[in-house]
Amino acid sequence: MLDLVLCWHFHQPDYRDESGFVLPWTYLHALKDYSDMAAHLEAQPAMRCVVNFVPSLLEQLDDYAQQFERGVFRDPLPAALAEPRPSRWSRAQRLMLVQTCFRLHPPTMLEPFPAYKRLHALWQQVRDQGAAAVDYLSTQYFVDLVTWYHLAWTGESLRRSEPLVLALMQKGSGFTLEERRALLELAGRVVRGLIPRYRALAERGQIELSATPHSHPLAPLLIDFSSAREVRPELVLPRSPAYPGGAVRLAAHIEAALRCHREHFGAAPTGLWPAEGAVSEAAVAVFAQAPVRWIASGEGVLRASLKASGLDVSRPCQWLCRPWRVGQSALACFFRDDYLSDLIGFEYKNWFARDAVRHFLHSIEDRYHYANAPAPVVSVILDGENAWDHYPYNGWYFLSELYAALVEHPAIRLTTFSEYLERHPDSVLPLPKLVAGSWVYGDLTTWIGQPDKNRAWDLLCAAKQAYDTAVGGLDEAGAAAAEALLRSCESSDWFWWFGDANPAESVRAFDRLFRGKLKRLYALLGLAAPAELDTAVSAGGGPAELGGVMRRGVEG
């Protein structure tokens, strides 16, 4: 019998500034992906898996739930859907709508809907007129646009269970205020219901809920920049020698994560997925101080570590199917099977669902048929959000057939990391050497080593030095607010986006958000922000996609 752990990672960085939500991805993924993923599990009670929630996502879901309860929106997108007098929209507001409401994956989220395609075609005809282009379009155009954007981001489970969604899609245009309010009310029910749904799944033992250090910090780099050179010795590092007090900061993120998880789900997590699966020996030592049983990382990290430990790496599946113990730590570390995980994350979006599921099961059997381990376990870990944008019907048929096939498979036992350790407490092997890296290429170059990324680290280091100097002079409330904002500034996401690998408009948006958070931190500390925070960190970025923004995909 082969144990299989399927772990879905749910993560969004904190998109808020002092005015509200700058980017809508938490809201949109809540309507589409988080609701669909819960529905698939609810429809297949025998399915077992791990679901990882990053606390910065949970807190944003709380924020949206409060907005819906009060009927006052801090995100321009639901605010636009709720607007009773859209004729009052300014040119800037209308421009914001056209810049926002085509940000999606066109083949699966725009092209299947003729009425929505017409809205895009109309915009294409006038967009060359610059900001004045919106003057050529009617108020009803913008009403229909924001309504269709919400419809395009509804999950397949909502389309199948809520008659309103199908009725509005069939109507296609001329949406009324009453129809928009009904759609908004549905969105509110979805957002408010998400955390209770996952909590119920966990309480009945169907899923294990895990967490990530609070704001998704890159643990090895927070502790030691030079850890990035363990795999890339030639890497150019930031001017700052190290992030001040990084190990203490990582412990603070872990403590905040345990507290947030307990508040939302009624119990502390028994496992942690480090941000981006990034680990180092120093980071594991900090994780080991937390009351958790397991962490997980990527296959590339295990390969490099086995090689550094003098172990045979010619048959990786022989080593992937066991958890490992690093140094004197009692933590079990599982390692992701990159091939199997990336089949779901990248490859199967273009397959017929039944063929993809058949291939996936055959791949598991083929790779682990000769696994030389007394209790082999396969770890499939991936992003549980963005991949579905690229699947027909938001991955509905693929996930439905995958779950049904896994539940019925005679030689695969679905389990969770904690459950596996309960059944096989002696299965953990000692790993003599752990090489610092992540689940992205097995190294840390996605977050450090390029000029823009290094400059961002230097700006953060300067802000942390200012924090250390000034936080002692704040009252309790001020210190708590500064601590929370510092955690957000320490997120790995800012460094991920800098550089030329992502669309320029996305880079600019995250650049502004990161610098804005640093400026607010200085203000909370009662200090003047450095003038260099008025200059963009990154001058790079690639070409824009439809709508100007391409969100991050599944790492692998």
What residue ranges do the domains of the chain occupy?
Answer: 2-12+202-228+243-431, 16-42+53-201, 451-548
pLDDT at 469: 98
In angstroms, the CA 211 to CA 192 distance is 20
Long-range pairs, 104-107, Cβ under 8 A, ≥24? 104/149, 104/152, 104/153, 104/389, 104/546, 104/547, 105/389, 105/390, 106/546, 107/390
pLDDT band with cut points at 50, 70 and 90 for residue 73: very high
Exposure string for 436-466, b = 16+ CB within 10 A, e = fewer: bbbbbebbbbbbbbbebbbbbbebbbbbbeb
pLDDT band with cut points at 50, 70 and 90 for residue 540: low
pLDDT surpassing 80 at residue 98: yes
DSSP 219-284: HHHHH-GGGGGGT-TTPPPPSSSS-TTHHHHHHHHHHHHHHHHHHHHSS--SEE--GGG-B-HHHH
pLDDT band with cut points at 50, 70 and 90 for residue 551: very low
pLDDT at 107: 98
pLDDT surpassing 80 at residue 200: yes
* Best CA proximity match to 181, nearest among 40, 86, 117: 86
Per-residue pLDDT tens digits for 150-189: 999 999 999 999 999 999 999 999 999 999 999 999 999 9
pLDDT at 542: 58
pLDDT surpassing 50 at residue 555: no
pLDDT at 87: 97
Residue 214: helix, strand or coil by DSSP? Answer: coil
Mean pLDDT of the chain: 95
**Which tokens in the block code for residue 456?**
């961002």
Mean pLDDT, residues 409-430 taken together: 96
In angstroms, the CA 116 to CA 152 distance is 9
pLDDT at 502: 85
Architecture category of domain 2-12+202-228+243-431 in CATH: Alpha-Beta Barrel (3.20)
pLDDT at 554: 30
User: What is the reported pTM?
Assistant: 0.96
pLDDT surpassing 60 at residue 472: yes
pLDDT band with cut points at 50, 70 and 90 for residue 543: low
Per-residue pLDDT tens digits for 262-317: 999 999 999 999 999 999 999 999 999 999 999 999 999 999 999 999 988 887 78
Mean pLDDT, residues 123-127 taken together: 94
pLDDT surpassing 60 at residue 552: no
pLDDT at 328: 84
In angstroms, the CA 349 to CA 391 distance is 5
